[in-house]
Amino acid sequence: MRLLTADYIYPVSAAPMRGAYLLIDDDGTVLDLLRDTIDVSVDIKPEYHHGLICPGFVNAHCHLELSFLKSKITEGRGLAAFIKELVPARRASEEEIFNAAKDADAEMIANGIVMVGDISNNDSSVEIKKASRIHYHSFIEIYDLNPDKAFESFDAGIKLWKKFKAEGLSASISPHASYSVSAKLLKLIGDFAYENDSLLSIHNQESSGENDMFINGTGGFVEELNKISGAYTNWKATGFRSLPSVFVHLPKCNKIEFVHNTYSTKDDVRWAHLYNLFVWWCICPNANMYIENRLPDLEMFRNEVAKICIGTDSYASNKSLSVLDELKCIQMQYNNIPTHELIQWATRNGADFFGLQKQFGSFEKGKRPGINVIANVNSETQALSDSSYVIPLI
Ligand SMILES: [Zn+2]
């Protein structure tokens, strides 16, 4: 057993506690959360940590298999330019892809991440995920704009999904983005998710051009996409923004995370909440800054009582795979959002989305959520600073 204490403990299931104690088993299972050592019936010397203690982080969006792209894609040129560079850059040897993904997995463990929702287009991450201490859920991602190829693309996705399942890994099938999946393919994915009661994820409103192409059928983004793949010659607008245009083809009662949401508006969020009760909004701040140099309207999301979770995205669009770095990026621009709220986004909200709230996300008896110390926080307000860092205790 270990007795941990710090300036503050953030149980997440309750308000932050000053000078409290966390009693854990050797394997990290929470035995008790105590306001005072007097409550402790066993005689253990407390371990004091400067800073705050919170549960392990849930990284709700990553692409482990893209880790080899670190520092290879130019920053700040918008989504279309990013995709244009990404497509040819994805060619690399199996060894290079595997080694970079393995390092990324180790880095996430060192950064206090205990659970990851990871996008997979192939099986290169299977062995890493099987061996890792991190609990992974893999979104087998499918995309194809040609409706005539919908069955073919879907079948390839099912084949990959079966590979992951056969290895005992948690996995579900998901569409890539509004602009890369035909309505026919969306329907196949949606029906499969409904039948299997499985999790959905989709990249959403990462650029303003994504909305333009659905509303008007024109704009720089669709033109650039057409230059890259030639598949957008017959692109037809729906007359609506991208989110409702694709969401109508997906089930109303499956959990879904919209990822990025850089250009989502109050109307998008309200529409999504009316359509489906089980919507989470995954924010990847550093990737948004890397690609579009802009963050989503987080005040709006808070006002709409949206369930926000945090993702790092991949090394193609990020300089680290650290949930804490994402929180620091948010607080740099939104210094009114308190640290305890950010920690909730980074822990319990993600755990709730993945249905792993019995293990992860908060300090409650019987859970084994991982334990992080966040050092170098403001001693009065616990605000994060550039120099804040994470030490995983278990
Ligand atoms: Zn992504």
Average pLDDT over residues 200-218: 95
pLDDT of residue 43: 77
Share of the chain above pLDDT 90, in %: 87
**364 Cα: distance to centroid of ligand 1 (angstroms):** 31
**79 Cα: distance to centroid of ligand 1 (angstroms):** 11
**73 Cα: distance to centroid of ligand 1 (angstroms):** 14
Q: For the whole model, what pTM was predicted?
A: 0.96
pLDDT of residue 49: 96
Q: Would you place residue 40 in the very low, low, confident or very high pLDDT band (cuts 50, 70, 90)?
A: low
Q: Does the pLDDT value for residue 50 go beyond 90?
A: yes
**315 Cα: distance to centroid of ligand 1 (angstroms):** 10
Indicate the domain borders of the chain: 57-321
Residues with CB under 5 A from ligand 1 (ion): 313
3-state secondary structure 347-392: HHHHHHHCCCCCCCCCCCCCCCCCEEEEECCCCCCCCCCCCCEEEE
Report how far residue 52's alpha carbon sits from residue 39's, in angstroms, rounded to the nearest whole number. 21
**313 Cα: distance to centroid of ligand 1 (angstroms):** 5
Q: Mean pLDDT, the chain, as a whole number?
A: 95
**215 Cα: distance to centroid of ligand 1 (angstroms):** 23
**CATH of region 57-321:** 3.20.20.140
Report how far residue 82's alpha carbon sits from residue 74's, in angstroms, rounded to the nearest whole number. 7
Phi and psi at 281, nearest 5°, equal -120, 110
**61 Cα: distance to centroid of ligand 1 (angstroms):** 6
Are the CB atoms for 289 and 233 separated by under 8 Å?
no
Average pLDDT over residues 77-88: 84
